[in-house]
């Protein structure tokens, strides 16, 4: 019998918003600001889709709680470092996830000019 290929599906969490204290400038570290996070979790969701059981998929409430703990748990100078920490934490805590893409946005980035936000995107896999 031929072996079935595994599926690659995606669970996305968009625009999780946190007030945190990341940045290079001292005002950013003391006054804080808003940070927005998106994650794409690449995994095989076929078992959960067939069984309709939360135990056989990735619980996105737990994913949100993990992201929240990582965003609020430590101050970072760079959103690149924050995004990397989130990616590593999600891969460590959610074994079904094969690849993760993390986007961190900083709407109030201190730039001498007019921009909507600064965003970093990091992809990691196992």
| Cβ neighbours around 29 below 10 Å, total | 14
Residues 37, 103: contact at Cβ < 8 Å?
yes
Check if 98 is active-site. Answer: no
| Residue of 34, 92, 98, 106 marked active site | 106
- C-alpha–C-alpha distance, residues 24 and 1, integer Å: 57
**Active site amino acids:** 106
């Amino acid at each position: 019998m031929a072996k079935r290929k595994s599926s690659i599906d995606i669970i996305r969490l968009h625009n999780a918003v946190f007030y945190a204290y990341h940045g290079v400038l001292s005002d950013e570290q003391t006054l804080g600001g808003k940070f927005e996070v998106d994650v794409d979790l690449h995994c095989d969701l076929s078992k959960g889709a067939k069984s309709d059981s939360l135990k056989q998929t990735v619980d996105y409430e737990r994913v949100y709680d993990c992201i929240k703990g990582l965003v609020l748990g430590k101050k970072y100078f760079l959103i690149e470092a924050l995004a990397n920490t989130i990616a590593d934490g999600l891969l460590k805590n959610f074994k079904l996830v094969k690849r993760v893409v993390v986007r961190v946005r900083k709407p109030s980035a201190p730039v001498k000019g007019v921009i909507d936000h600064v965003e970093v995107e990091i992809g990691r896999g196992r």
